[in-house]
Chains A and B, each alone.
Chain A
C-alpha cells in the first residue's frame, strides 16, 4: 500500500510566450516526492529548474503557462485550481525559499512584523503572532530573536536573512517546501550552516522538500533522490547515492566529469567538458534533447525520442545507451600539454611578483577602514597563486592594489620582475601595465557592450604593444582565434555571445600585451560547470605555453585546488595561511582554513566532520583585538594560548619550510587536533 505522494508532476509541460511564440521550457516532466522526502532537481542554467519550482507553487511569470500534464499536491490537481484555492494552499501547505534572501524580504518592514504577518494570516492575533515569531526564529537558530525582530532586512547578514526567510516558509508548517538555490549567494561557511539547519529542520518536521540547485555537491548532501534536467526534460532520476555512483545518462556523466573534484590538479589531469552549448529556449527536438552534444550519439538518437529506461532499483535514464554512458569516451584528452614544449620552463618557479606589506585603508564617514592589512605574497614564473577566503576578506581589493587600480598605502611594495612599481596605474609605464592584466568575474560588465569583439581586443593590443591600428586588428584576430573565438564572431557585440565566449574574449584582451601575470577574479563563477571546465583548460594551456603566472581568486575551493600551485587564505584583509597548494589542503591547517575546507559539500559524498565557525565576520572598521579570528576560532578553546589569541595579533610565520601561518597555536598541536 503506497501512500499518496506529497507532490507529483505528471507529464508537465510549461511554455513561455516570448515575442508572440510559445516556447517550451519544461517538457513532459514526471516525478513524485513522497511525504518527508527531499527531491533534488539539478542542471545547468536555462534547463527549466526554477520554472519547475515555480510551477509547483503555480507561480509562473506572467508569460508562462502550463500547456499540458498535471501537478498533483497530495493527490489534488492544482493546475485547474482557482486563485483562492491556490492561495489557501500557499498559506497552509506549500512554502517557498528563494535564492536571494535580500530581495525576498521587504526592506521597509521590520523582521518581526514581517514574519508575524504569516501567523496573522493563519488567524493569530498580533500579540500571539509576535510570540510565535520569537519561537520560529529560535527554531532557525537565531541566537537573539528579540533583537533581530526589531531590525530591517538590510541590517542582517546574508545567512541571517536566509534563516529568517526559512522561518517564514516554515511558519505555516508546510507539507511541501520548495527551495530554489537557497544557498547560492552565500559564503561557503554560511552555506554549510544553512544546509545543516535545513537538514535538521527536515528531520524534525518531516516536511517534503523540492530542492533546486546547480551545485551537485549540495544536492548530493541534501537530497534523498535526484532528477537531472536538460533542456527542460528530465533525463535521469534515481536515489542520490545510486545516481552519483552509477550515472547512466551521458549528460549526467558529463556534468560529473567537468567538475574539478578534490585531488585533481592541472599538472596531472585535464578536465573533461561537454562540447557545444545548451539549446536555445523552446528549440524543437524530434529525437533526444541531448543528441547534439552527446559523445554516444547515433542516427536513431536524432530521430526517435528515447523512453525512460530502468537502470537499477528506481533509477531511470532517458537514453538508448545507458549501459555504455558511464564509460563513454571523454571529450577532452587526458593528456596535458607536454612540458617540454614550454620555452620558459627553465625559468619556471623563479620569483616574478613580490608583494610586500601591502596595506590599504579606505575612509568611511571619516574613519579609516583597513581593508587590506600587511599582506605579503610571492608568485613565481609560470605559477598560479590561489586566493581564497569569504566575501569581504579583501581578495579583489588585493588584486586591484597589485594592478594599481587603487593606490596602496605607504610602505606597500609591489615588485614585478625585480622592479618596484609605482602605487597607481597612471604612474606606471605601459610595459609594466601590460605585464599585469586581469580577467574579471562578470564578462557582461567587463566588456563594453557597445564595442565589437575585434575592437575590444584590438584596442588593448594597440595601446599595450604600441602597434598600428591595422596591425593590432590582425593581432587581435590571431589572439581571438587562438582562444577559439571563431572568425565569424569577431565583428559581434558581447551581447550576442554566450557566457563562455564572452569570457574567452575577456581572456584574449588580458593576453593582448603578452602579460607575465594575469589576475583571474572569479573567472568562472558566473558560468555553468561544463563551460567552466573549458575555460579552466584554456587558462592551464595558456600558462603551459607562455609561462604566464596567475593570481586566481575563487570561492570554489575545488577550482582553486585544481589550478593553483600555491594558496593564500585570507581573513579580514590578512593572509592567515600561505603555502604550497598541497600543504594547505592536506594540513595541518590554520583553524580558519580548516573550517573553510570542512564547509564544502563534497561531491564525492565523503562525509567530513564539519568544523563550524560561530558568529559573523566582524566588520573591518572594528576588527577584534589580538588575532582577528579569535572570537570565532574553532581551535582556540583548550589550546592553552587563549590569553595570547585575544590580546596579541600573531605574525605570519614560517611554521614549516614554505608553509606560513598566522596562528599562536603550535603546528604540532594543530596537527594532533586536526586528525
Chain B
C-alpha cells in the first residue's frame, strides 16, 4: 500500500526550499538600487561608529589662521567662520543623526505596530475611535507637531526629540500595519489558533505579526528617511538638539548666511551628507518594496 512515493517528494521539496532561499538572496544582491543604497548607508554607519577615530580634528578645535578658509589639503572641506574643520564636523555629526533617526523610527514602529495589530484584530468601536484620532493627527504636518511638542516641553535634548518623532510617526505606521492585519486576521490559521485555546497576545504577536513583517519593514525604511529629514530640519530650526553640538542641521543653520560671501563649503557639505543619507535609505526602501511585491 504505497499511497505516495514520498521520498521523491521530499527530495524535490528540499531542493525547492534551497532554491527559493537562493533566489530571494540573489534577488536582493542583484538589485542595483539596493546595492547602491546599502553601500552609502553602511558608509555612514561606519562613520557613525568610528567617526571619532577617523576625524582628523576635534569638533570644537579652532584654527584662527584658517577662518572661513576654502578646502585645502589640511582641511579637506575647508573651515567655518569659527575656524573649525568642516570635514571633521561632518564626520562627527554622523553619529547623532544616525542614532536619533534609528531610535525615533524604532520607537514609532514598535508603537505603530502594536496599534495596528490591536485595531486590525479587534475591529469594532475601538478601531473606529482610534482610527479617527489617527486621521486627525495625520492631518497636521509632522514638523509642526514636533516643534509644538518640543516648545511646549521646553526641551532641547535629543532624547525628547526622539520620543516626539517616534510618537508622531506612530499613527502612520499604525495605519499601514492595520491594513495588513485586517486581511490577515480573516485567514483561517487565526481561527485554528483560537481552536487550540491560544491567548490573544499569542495570536497577535506569534501568528499574525510574522506575516505582516514585509510591509512593516518597508514602512520602517520609509519612516527612517523621513526621520533623517525631520531631525535635520529641527536642528536647523534650533530645536531638538543642544546648541553647538556637531550636527548637520545646526551646521547649516550657523553657516548658510555666509553663502552670500561665497563661503559655501560649511553649508554644502553637511547638506550633501543629509541628502546622501536620506537618498540611500529611500533606495533601500524602494528596492524592498519591489522584492516584497507590496
Residues of A within 8 A of B (CB): 19, 273, 275-277, 280, 292, 331-333, 400, 403, 405, 425-426, 430, 433-434, 437-438, 440, 442, 445-451, 459-460, 463-464, 484, 486, 488-489, 492-493, 495-498, 500-501, 509, 512-513, 534, 537
Contacts and interface: CB of A to CB of B under 8 A. Distances in A.
A464 B196 contact: yes
Given A333-B1, A488-B14, A497-B13, A19 B23 contact: yes
A332 B4 CA distance: 11
Interface in B198-212: 198, 207, 210-211
B10 A463 contact: no
A451 B192 CA distance: 13
Given A440-B192, A447-B189, 13 more contacts: A275-B2, A425-B194, A434-B196, A445-B187, A448-B189, A448-B193, A486-B6, A488-B14, A489-B9, A489-B10, A496-B13, A496-B20, A513-B196
B210 A450 contact: yes
Interface of B: 1-10, 12-14, 16-17, 20, 23, 187-189, 191-198, 207, 210-211
Q: Which of A442, A486, A500 counts the most chain B CB atoms within 10 A?
A: A486
B17 A492 contact: yes
A448 B12 CA distance: 22
A275 B197 contact: no
Contacts of A430: 197
Contact of A446 (B1, B16, B20, B188): B188
B9 A446 contact: no
A332 B3 contact: yes
Contacts, number: 100
Contacts of A448: 189, 193, 207, 210-211
A150 B86 CA distance: 71
A276 B8 contact: yes
Nearest to B19: A19
A277 B9 contact: yes
Top-5 shortest CB links A-B: A450-B210, A488-B10, A446-B188, A463-B196, A448-B189
A445 B3 CA distance: 25
B52 to A, nearest CB: 41
A489 B194 CA distance: 25
16 contacts: A276-B9, A332-B3, A405-B194, A433-B195, A437-B195, A440-B188, A440-B192, A445-B187, A445-B188, A445-B189, A446-B188, A448-B207, A464-B197, A488-B14, A492-B13, A496-B13
Contacts of B5: 275-276, 292
B196 A489 contact: no
Contacts of A405: 191, 194-195
A275 B4 contact: yes
A405 to B, nearest CB: 5
Contact of B3 (A426, A449, A484, A497): A484
Contact of B6 (A19, A447, A484, A492): A484
Contact of B188 (A433, A442, A489, A496): A442
A169 to B, nearest CB: 33
B188 A486 contact: no
Contact of B10 (A273, A434, A440, A486): A486
Nearest to A434: B196
B196 A460 contact: yes
A459 B196 contact: yes
A534 B4 contact: yes
A276 B195 contact: no
A430 B20 CA distance: 38
A493 to B, nearest CB: 8
B3 A537 contact: yes
Contacts of A446: 187-189, 191-192
B79 to A, nearest CB: 54
A90 to B, nearest CB: 31
Contacts of B197: 425-426, 430, 433, 463-464
Given A19-B23, A433-B197, A450-B211, A486 B189 contact: no
Contacts of B13: 488-489, 492, 496-497
B196 A449 contact: no
A488 B11 CA distance: 8
Nearest to A432: B197
Nearest to A535: B3
Contacts of B210: 448, 450-451
B187 to A, nearest CB: 4
Nearest to B194: A425
A277 B4 contact: yes
Given A277-B9, A405-B191, A486-B9, A332 B196 contact: no
Contacts of A492: 13, 17
Contacts of B10: 486, 488-489
Contacts of A537: 3
Contacts of A486: 6-7, 9-10
B4 A449 contact: no
Contacts of B7: 486
A448 B205 CA distance: 13
B182 to A, nearest CB: 15
Contacts of A460: 192, 196
A471 to B, nearest CB: 16
A333 B3 CA distance: 10
A433 B196 contact: yes
A431 B6 CA distance: 34
A100 to B, nearest CB: 20
Contacts of B207: 448
A442 B188 CA distance: 8
Nearest to B187: A445
Given A275-B5, A276-B4, A463 B189 contact: no
A433 B6 CA distance: 33
A500 B6 CA distance: 12
B195 A403 contact: yes
A182 to B, nearest CB: 28
A447 B190 CA distance: 9
B204 to A, nearest CB: 13
Nearest to B189: A448
Nearest to A447: B189
Contacts of B189: 445-448
Given A275-B4, A275-B5, A445-B189, A496 B17 contact: yes
